[in-house]
Every structure is written in C-alpha cells, then in structure tokens.
Amino acid sequence: MMFRLGRSLYVAVRGLNGVVRPENIKKVVRNLSCTTSLMADKFKLPARYGAGEKSVWVEYIQLAAEIKPAVNLGQGFPDYHAPKHVTKALGDIATGPNPLLNQYTRGFGHPPLIQNLSKLYSPLIGREINPQNEILVTFGAYEALYSAILGHVDEGDEVIVIEPFFDCYDFMIKSAGGKPRFIALCPTKTSGEITSADWVLDEKELESLFNPRTKMIIVNTPHNPLGKVFTQQELELIANLCKKHNVLCLSDEVYEWMAYEPVKHIRIASFPGMWERTITIGSAGKTFSVTGWKTGWAYAPAALMRNLHVVHQNCVYTCCTPVQEAISRSFDYELARRDSPECYLTALACELRPKRDFVIKSLRENGFNPTVPEAGYFIIADWTNLADKIDLSSEPDKYKDYQFTKKFAKETGVLAIPPTAFYSQEHKHLGENFARFCFIKKDENLQLAGKLIKEWNAKNKKACV
C-alpha cells in the first residue's frame, strides 16, 4: 500500500520521464491538502460527542506514567490485594473442571450472580427483586450508567446532575441527546473542621430545576469525590420531587459498603413509591476491591430494566463469565458470614477508616483544609493556604487545580486529581481550590506521601524565610 502510494506520488511529482517539475509539486500538495481537509471534515468526531477532549482519567494516567510519582493518590483503586477468597475464586475457575465457565454466559447476567444479587439487595430494598428481569450485570458500573442513560434519555430530555459529579455522566447524557441541568453541592462553611455533610444542596434551586422536560435525576451516594452520604431528609426531598414531577432517579451507589460509622448508607429505592422509578447501580470493583474486574450491575423494576436490556444486548451482550462466577462465589462466601464483623461488606469501611484519618491529619498538618468524607475513599482538600509556596506560572493549564496537582506531583512526588473535572463548564471555578486524594492505598504508601508532603512543606518554609 505504502509502496503504491509512494510510486504514484513519485510519478505525480517527477512525471513519467523522472524530471522534477515545480508545477507538479504544487499540484500534488494542493491535491493532498484538499483530500486531507475533505477527509478531516467527513471523519470528524460526531457532534453529539462534543469537543472530544481527553478525560481526566486518560490525562492523569498518562501523566502518572510520564512523571512516575512516588505515590499515586490519583485514580481510585487499591494498591494492595483484594480478599484472598475473591482472587482465589477467579484462579480456580479459569483452570477448574468446568470448561463452560470460560465460555459465554447468559447475556443479562450470569445465573448464580443474579441470584446472589437478588439475595443481597432484596432485604435492603424491602421487596423481592426478580433476578431474571430486575437485575442486569454490566461491564463495570460505567456500562450500567451507560445502559440506563442511553436507554432512558431521549432527544431534548433534561437530566438533573448534582455537582461535583462523576465526569462521564455529562458525556453520556449529551450523547443520548439529553440536556444536563446542573446544581452544585456547596460547603456551608469554609474554615474549621469541614465534613462532607457540610456540603449541601439549595432546596429551592433543586425544586426550580424540575419541569415537564425533566426525565431523570442522577444521585451519587456515597458521593465521589466528596464522600457525602445523602441523609434521609435530603433523599426524601429528592424522592418527593421525583414523584411529583414523574421523574426517574438513577442512583449511583458504587461506594455503598464504605460508609463510616455512625453514618449509614441509605437506598432511595427503598423509599415509598420510589422502587417504581429508581435504577440503582453497584460495582464489584468497589465491593470487593477488584476495580480491574470491571463488573457492575443495575437493579430496577422490570418495566424500567427493559430499556437497559435493549442497550446492553446490542453493545455488550454478555459480560465476562469467569469474573461473574468469581464474584458470585465471593458473594456466597460473604453472605454466609453477613452478620460477622469479618464480612468484607462490613470490614471494608473499618479497614479504610484509619487510612482516612491518617491522610486527613497529614493534609491538615501541611496546610491543606480537607473535607472529612463520611464514606468512600477520596478526600477533597482545599490547597489555597499553600498558594504562596508553589509557583504555578510554569503550568499552562486553564484551571488552577490542574496547575496545582501537576506542579505538586512534580515537586512532592504525590499525585492527586483536579476536581474541576467533576464540574460543568459554568461551575468549574467551584472546584479550582481543591485537589482529590485517594486513600485506599497501603499504609506504607500513605506514610510515604505524608513524609514527602511534609519535607516539601519544610523546604518551602525555609525558602520563604
């Protein structure tokens, strides 16, 4: 192919007698640029995908590969092993006696896994969830979000999104032809000890967003990146508005097992009149600390689930069988000890709590003002008290949190995520003073991060004197 292209260019420039002619060069360049621009025009990104900027994950994972931070507290994943029985199950299945466990399984979810999901969630929702038509196993919670949004949002529909929000919501809504309507959680205080409960919605503003075009509201509780657990009262307000305006609730609950006592995670699908209009999403990656297994699920009444099935059956059809079988066996194991404090669904938050407290203390000692999360494994921390210690002028990014996280990673070796990625264009300024730190990391790595930040701080203190 290259040879043929090279040969025709050669002939076009030199002519058949091999003599280079300037007018031929001009003609070839003109034709080439015309073809390139025609191609660029025809093959440009479809408008429904917006400008096609890199997502923060693509950018920061690439950044981590380039700068090799000593401690990566960016993307949310554990840097240590999942429970032994979980990883062992996958190994056993892949090489075990049943060859069919390495082949396709039922498209809407592997039979033993949907049975276990029904067993797990039915008592939590207060109704029997039909595993056959009310549960869908998906390629990570991402695909559950995708199937729910693409399956329900139509051209011109509005979707209420609470900021900060997990960044793909915006993209998915727009690619379905919908219009996101944003409302920001704002801190009620900016000094002293702040917890994620201090970040609240303005009730009147929320009410004002509901209108006849509203199809859906997305609620993420426990929340990424704030760690907020929506209270009974906050969820009741949302539920009442959904019922009043006939709106669906898409409840992203991937951090459901990580609420720190005494705070309790509450499922909006269990509220009176809400099962009928709620699609709830979970993730095995979060539940069993195996984010690379990319398996999630949605549960909802059959009438709503049908739309997710239509999307799923035509873009993914079926998820990885051995992984689903391993997750199912992991649930067998954990459900058998559900009432024991050792059950991973209970133990995970206990394991994470000292990590959270360590990072909060370390950030505070070094001039950050962190929000203490009530759940999950992220901490949002205000870095503006450190502004005079870090020269951001060499960082070309548009938003200060991008500048800060990049420069901070280069100077300290500790990488964090810029939270403006979780805000709409019009509200980016609300995230600029913060950085997001992930703390589901080995204690030694969290200690190293603390030490590196402390050393950087001390060095900069001296430099200022």
Query: Which residues contact ligand PMP by CB under 6 A?
Result: 140-142, 166, 220, 224, 252, 254, 283, 285-286, 291, 294, 296
Nearer to ligand PMP, 238 or 254 (CB): 254
Contact criterion met (CB below 8 Å) for 418 and 435: yes
75 near ligand GLN (CB under 6 A): yes
Least distance CB 167 / ligand GLN (angstroms): 8
**Nearer CB in complex with ligand GLN: 171/333:** 171
Residue 214 is given by DSSP the state E
Nearer residue to ligand PMP within complex by CB, 75 or 130: 75
Q: What is the dihedral of CA 58, 375, 174, 208, to 10 degrees?
A: -150
75 binds, among ligand PMP, ligand GLN, none (CB under 5 to 8 A by kind): ligand GLN
Tell me whether residue 141 or residue 300 sits nearer to ligand PMP (CB atom).
141
Q: Applying CB under 6 A, which of residues 138, 224, 287, 420 lies at the interface with ligand GLN?
A: 224
* 441 burial via Cβ count (<10 Å: 0-12, 13-18, 19+): buried
Residue 312 near residue 140 (C-beta atoms within 8 A): no
CB-nearer residue toward ligand GLN: 281 or 305 = 281
Residue 296 or 322 having the CB closest to ligand PMP: 296
Phi, psi (5° rounding) for residue 341? -65, -15
Distance from C-alpha of 146 to C-alpha of 151, rounded to nearest angstrom: 8
Choose among ligand PMP, ligand GLN, none what residue 122 binds, the Cβ cut-off being 5 to 8 Å by kind.
none
Picking from 323, 369, 359, the residue whose alpha carbon sits closest to that of residue 453 is 359
* Interface with ligand GLN in residues 14-73 (CB under 6 A): 57
Question: CB–CB of 201/235 below 8 Å?
Answer: no
Nearer to ligand PMP, 71 or 417 (CB): 417
Shorter beta-carbon distance to ligand GLN: residue 145 or 453: 145
CA distance 337 to 347: 11
* Residue position matching structure tokens 């033993």: 112
- C-beta of 79 vs 395, nearer to ligand PMP: 79
284 and 141 in contact (C-beta within 8 Å)?
no
Shortest reach from residue 220's CB to ligand PMP, in Å: 5
φ and ψ of 218, to 5 deg: -105, 125
57 binds, among ligand PMP, ligand GLN, none (CB under 5 to 8 A by kind): ligand GLN
Q: How far is the CB of 454 from ligand PMP (least distance, A)?
A: 29
Instruction: Give the type of residue at 217.
Output: I
Binds ligand GLN by CB under 6 A, chosen from 69, 76, 131, 413: 76
The minimum distance between CB 192 and ligand GLN, in angstroms, equals 27
Select the binding partner of residue 356 from ligand PMP, ligand GLN, none (C-beta < 5 to 8 A, by kind).
Answer: none
Cβ 343 to ligand GLN shortest distance, Å: 23
Distance CA 338, CA 340 (A): 6
Alpha-carbon span 224 to 168, nearest angstrom: 12
Paired tokens of 25: 């060069």
Q: Which residues, listed in sequence order, are joined to residue 158 by a DSSP beta bridge?
A: 179, 214
Sorted by sequence, the CB contacts under 8 Å of residue 188 that are 6+ apart come out as: 198, 199, 200
Residue nearest to ligand PMP (CB): 140
Whether the link from the prior residue into 212 is cis, omega within 30° of 0, is no
Binding partner selected for residue 296 from ligand GLN, ligand PMP, none, CB under the kind-specific 5 to 8 Å limit: ligand PMP
Identify the DSSP state of 177: T
Residue type, 352: L
Q: Which is nearer to ligand GLN, 75 or 240 (CB)?
A: 75
Report what 312 binds from ligand GLN, ligand PMP, none; CB cut-off 5-8 Å by kind: none
Query: What token pair was written down for 71?
Result: 């401690």
Q: Among 380, 350, 348, 361, which residue's Cα sits nearest to residue 446?
A: 361
CB 380 to ligand GLN: min, Å: 12
Q: Which residue is nearest to ligand GLN (CB)?
A: 76
Residues of this chain, 148-167, that bind ligand GLN according to CB under 6 A? none
Question: Does residue number 171 form part of the binding site for ligand GLN (CB under 6 A)?
Answer: no
* Smallest gap from residue 263 Cβ to ligand PMP (A): 17
**Site residues (vs ligand GLN, CB under 6 A):** 57, 75-76, 224
